[in-house]
């Protein structure tokens, strides 16, 4: 048996199937059928979200499939039984659901955490979650390279990094992280056969992988692209280039590109790790205040955050308008 499969079996074996009450799983399925959201299910069953995730993985292994609906307010998740016999393995588009009268969304954006490297900053990642909690922010966008694949800079052996990620990545029941997977995440799959996307899908429903390299998150009548170019020759596909807001990782620097003639704002996101790439590279994050008009993103205020004196503080703030899209009938 290959090492990658052995490691996956190690993770799965940590779910103590013998101590899981079958009646609890049956009750959980009933609550899902009633339309209960994740935190409501946890309250009724007196279980943690991670225990519910494990139960759902067991149900999945028995052929019960669920689509997920993600909510902006409170970072909630609801599960919808999948009953379409024409279901295929094509990944559906990911939606962040807001109320009809919501015209403003706040989010924190991070990138290139390189977990498992000696340059990781799990301390800052945990502080980002604290910052979100204190400021009423329920959404984090991660622009790729969530994990590290290098050998020379390793803090955690390569074969143990996926499990290390699942164990150490912060969790808050009211925060959703939407991520794209980058070149390091894909390289780990090639080297160890461990599929980070599958592991997050099964064991961390709060970390929502929307794709590899580039894909969109639908929100209201608009979309946000998360982008992590694999090479210098990478480019955005047509679908992703149509988003009003494009968030890009990989470059380990902060830069805003706003073409007044285009219909989008392109933000290059700084790293949340200490990997020395260039003189501009130091760990930081962004806070976005995204405004909507008639369902489309029209204005974005971007704050750059650095960690100073035991808290994240704003060192710059920029406001950008986005040319309003003309709706077709």
Q: What is the C-alpha to C-alpha distance for residues 240 and 286, in angstroms, rounded to an integer?
A: 21
Which residues on adjacent β-strands are paired with residue 115? 147
Instruction: Tell me the CATH number for domain 9-84.
Output: 1.10.10
CA 305 to chain centre: 19
Taking a C-beta distance cutoff of 8 angstroms, is the pair 136, 108 a contact? no
The residue-averaged pLDDT of 121-142 equals 98
Q: Where are the beta strands (DSSP E) in the chain?
A: 66-71, 77-81, 94-97, 104-110, 139-142, 176-181, 207-212, 214-219, 222-227, 245-248, 255-258, 265-268, 285-293, 296-308, 311-321
Statement: residue 2 has pLDDT above 50: no
Question: What confidence score (pLDDT) does residue 55 get?
Answer: 86
Statement: residue 6 has pLDDT above 80: no
CA distances from 149 to 114, 152, 156, 212 (A): 8, 9, 10, 16
Question: Please, what's the b/e burial string for 150-188 (b: 16 or more CB within 10 A of its CB; e: otherwise)?
Answer: eeeeeebebbbbbbbbbeebbebeebbbbbbbbbbbbbb
Tokens of 126: 């945990």
Segment 151-203, tens digit of pLDDT: 777 888 888 888 899 999 999 999 999 999 999 988 887 887 778 888 898 88
Average pLDDT, the chain: 86
Question: What confidence score (pLDDT) does residue 328 get?
Answer: 55
Q: What is the C-alpha to C-alpha distance for residues 76 and 175, in angstroms, rounded to an integer?
A: 8
Statement: residue 230 has pLDDT above 90: no
Segment 260-287, tens digit of pLDDT: 666 899 999 999 999 877 656 689 999 9
Statement: residue 145 has pLDDT above 60: yes
With a CB cutoff of 8 Å and minimum separation 6, the contacts of 176 are 70, 75, 77, 96, 138, 139, 140, 206, 208
In which band, very low, low, confident or very high, does the pLDDT at 58 lie, cut at 50, 70 and 90?
confident
In which band, very low, low, confident or very high, does the pLDDT at 91 lie, cut at 50, 70 and 90?
low
Asked: is 98-321 a CATH 3.40.50.10540 domain? The reply is: no
CA 168 to chain centre: 15
Question: What confidence score (pLDDT) does residue 327 get?
Answer: 60
Q: What is the C-alpha to C-alpha distance for residues 116 and 158, in angstroms, rounded to an integer?
A: 8
Most confident of 18-22, 51-55, 58-62: 51-55
> Domain limits of the chain?
9-84, 98-321
With a CB cutoff of 8 Å and minimum separation 6, the contacts of 7 are 159, 160, 162, 163, 192, 194
The residue-averaged pLDDT of 210-232 equals 92
Most confident of 10-19, 59-68, 93-102: 93-102
With a CB cutoff of 8 Å and minimum separation 6, the contacts of 97 are 69, 70, 71, 72
**How many other C-beta atoms can be found within 10 angstroms of the C-beta atom of residue 296?**
19
Statement: residue 67 has pLDDT above 60: yes
What predicted TM-score, i.e. pTM, was given to this entire model?
0.85
């Amino acid at each position: 048996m290959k090492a990658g499969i052995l490691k996956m079996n190690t993770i799965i074996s940590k779910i103590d199937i013998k101590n899981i009450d079958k009646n609890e799983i049956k009750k959980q399925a009933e609550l899902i059928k009633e339309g209960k959201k994740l935190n409501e299910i946890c309250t009724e069953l007196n279980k943690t979200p991670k225990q519910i995730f494990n139960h759902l993985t067991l149900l999945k292994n028995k052929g019960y499939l669920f689509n997920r609906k993600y909510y902006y307010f409170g970072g909630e998740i609801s599960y919808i039984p999948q009953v379409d016999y024409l279901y295929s393995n094509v990944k559906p588009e990911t939606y962040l659901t807001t109320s009809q009268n919501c015209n403003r969304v706040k989010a924190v954006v991070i990138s290139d955490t390189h977990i498992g490297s000696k340059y990781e900053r799990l301390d800052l990642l945990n502080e980002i979650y604290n910052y979100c909690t204190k400021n009423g922010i329920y959404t984090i966008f991660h622009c790729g390279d969530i994990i590290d694949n290098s050998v020379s800079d390793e803090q955690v052996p390569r074969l143990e990094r996926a499990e290390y990620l699942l164990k150490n990545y912060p969790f808050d029941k009211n925060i959703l992280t939407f991520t794209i997977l980058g070149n390091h995440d894909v390289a780990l799959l090639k080297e160890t056969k461990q599929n980070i996307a599958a592991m997050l899908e099964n064991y961390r429903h709060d970390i929502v992988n929307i794709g590899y390299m580039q894909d969109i998150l639908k929100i209201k009548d608009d979309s946000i692209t998360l982008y992590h170019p694999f090479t210098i020759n990478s480019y955005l596909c047509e679908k992703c280039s149509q988003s009003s807001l494009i968030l890009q990782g990989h470059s380990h620097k902060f830069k805003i590109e706003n073409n007044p003639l285009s219909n989008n704002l392109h933000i290059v996101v700084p790293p949340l790790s200490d990997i020395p790439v260039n003189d501009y590279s130091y760990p930081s994050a962004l806070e976005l205040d995204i405004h909507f008009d008639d369902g489309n993103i029209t204005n974005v205020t971007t704050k750059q955050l650095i960690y100073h004196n035991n808290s994240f503080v704003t060192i710059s703030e920029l406001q950008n308008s986005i040319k309003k899209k003309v709706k077709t009938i």
